[in-house]
Structure 1
């Protein structure tokens, strides 16, 4: 087994002191630009993992966890970050919230431990990671994946609701309500992803219920936003495709769908029912209020922290499925039925 590259190796390669390397990897503004560039080049050439610097210098764990989310515009991730902070504090840990902005490079840096600040573990809701990014990990902190299910990898576990089962539950509920032409918003190309798993559950339950398999009723979107949901439903309506329910990959897509239907004078749920996922706060306040699949967020965070703090004491690729419930609101039930 090859010796781990040390801070002194980097210092020697860059021709600087180890304290200068420490200043660079901890992002302290005391290093000249050209010196910083030399150190970063040495780190890259040697494949040094700065995550371990803090432990080498201070000794022991940092009692800090990185929570990496793709964005904070989505209220689901903002609420996740707040609750994770509170739950970690109860365990004597701090959580640094890192926003990847859907950058694969940023997400890779965190799962490989190549970040300025050392952490004991990384909890990440990835949007751009490739399976190879995890399979190629030779070192780095324990990683907990939220939502996305990527193939098993060293020291990586997965925590999520059962996306396929929850989608099937939605389809069965709509079919019982007499809906037959179900539009799915949020299809993705990735083999294993939140969108792909929900679509798989949707298709299986649709086929089981004997509902139409019209390919026009599955719509890909460029992003899971209100705007994308609005545009997709506007397009479907403009194409005069017969739809009597929208199953949206998340609440933001569903809220956009509600706006598009309202702008076209389509009554919800009398003409078209709408369902989302995540139970963002806005879902209860939209008009009509939005039926949604709500993950047990406290259970999700507790399971993620348990896995993160267990370090290597778990199976690679282990999966924890947390509970969810379908919260029925006005977007799927006729007026007067409460």
Structure 2
């Protein structure tokens, strides 16, 4: 496994040419003989070299920018995460580069492999499509921290809340309020380890512990208001008894509220609702939403500590779980 990202001089040495020749090949200039060009391209492939187009912006041979790789910014959770990261990095004399993948597996893999046009001093990756093998096979060039659930046993730091434990807290709260027929919205469609799969596992474990049936589970890919609305309609159409719903995030819970109101159900009198993330809308929707509040400031601080501490000190396989808080609001008031 490589210990650093290969540079243009490494390619030149392997190909037996000057670094200027490598530059000519990489910029597709027609001044290099075909056989020489092929030697350079073979060396590029062997080393896994990616041109660094931001070299002129590097200081002391290293980028001062940290990449925060997110699936999107439409979700207020990710936007708030980016705000905390920008503030924390400014305090450390560094800059933040927000990189969006749209949840695309190939784009996420590019940041894992260091196959990006710009070089970063570290990468904080909130991934949705990362497999264990893609983490195992990554070159060890740029410090990487995974935000969310562990996807493999490789020595990559990852920071998360206790998603299973937090979901158990939500179910216990609902059961204590007299709810017995509890559904779940936001189960993953993919078999890959994910935040959704861990939250679902926590839900199932808590329901079994309470000796309650695990019946009405709705799956989706995108955790947005539209999915919450659509899946709540599907849940109601099943016709099973229902007096509470755990939503895997607040956006889906807000969409679910609308579907319930349109169907003539009252929240929380008929159906209680709870969510995750404590986005700003959670306190302002009607009724205000019970949710899980993660300590995002602490999460960002731990992630930057893991990413920016020199390799000789950093615990490469460290796993840090940050605290969460159950925020109880009117949407889950006890059953009358």
Structure 1 residue aligned with 2:100: 99
1:30-179 to 2 correspondence within 5 Å?
A: 43-44=44-45, 46-50=47-51, 54=55, 59-154=60-155, 156-179=156-179
CA separation of 1:333 and 1:111: change in aligned 2, threshold 3 A: same
1:66 Cα deviation from its structure 2 partner: 0.5
1-side partners of 2:223 and 2:110: how far apart?
Answer: 24
8 Å contact kept, 2:167–2:199? yes
Q: Which moved more, 1:115-124 or 1:173-182?
A: 115-124
Structure 1 residue aligned with 2:297: 298
2-side partners of 1:207 and 1:268: how far apart?
Answer: 25
Structure 1 residue aligned with 2:323: 323
8 Å contact kept, 2:187–2:197? yes
CA separation of 1:174 and 1:116: change in aligned 2, threshold 3 A: same
1:116 Cα deviation from its structure 2 partner: 1.3
**Structure 1: which 5+ runs fail to align?**
25-30
1:117 Cα deviation from its structure 2 partner: 1.3
1:315 Cα deviation from its structure 2 partner: 3.3
Structure 2 residue aligned with 1:28: none
2-side partners of 1:177 and 1:84: how far apart?
Answer: 37
Structure 1 residue aligned with 2:34: none
Task: Name the TM-score, length of structure 2 as normaliser.
Answer: 0.87
1:148 Cα deviation from its structure 2 partner: 2.7
Structure 2 residue aligned with 1:273: 272
Structure 2 residue aligned with 1:27: none
2-side partners of 1:303 and 1:119: how far apart?
Answer: 18
| 1:185-223 Cα deviation digits (max 9, x unpaired) | 111243531111111111111111111132xx1111131
Structure 1 residue aligned with 2:245: 246
1:178-217 to 2 correspondence within 5 Å?
A: 178-188=178-188, 189-214=190-215, 217=216
CA separation of 1:289 and 1:34: change in aligned 2, threshold 3 A: farther
| 1:134-182 Cα deviation digits (max 9, x unpaired) | 100232211111113211224x211010001101010100000000111
| 1:215-251 Cα deviation digits (max 9, x unpaired) | xx11111311111111111011122222111101111
8 Å contact kept, 1:51–1:113? no
8 Å contact kept, 1:180–1:211? yes
CA separation of 1:89 and 1:266: change in aligned 2, threshold 3 A: same
- Root-mean-square deviation (Å): 3.2
Structure 2 residue aligned with 1:228: 227
What's the secondary structure of 2:332's corresponding residue?
Answer: coil
Structure 2 residue aligned with 1:262: 261
CA separation of 1:57 and 1:183: change in aligned 2, threshold 3 A: closer
2-side partners of 1:60 and 1:296: how far apart?
Answer: 34
8 Å contact kept, 2:53–2:118? no
Task: Name the TM-score, length of structure 1 as normaliser.
Answer: 0.86
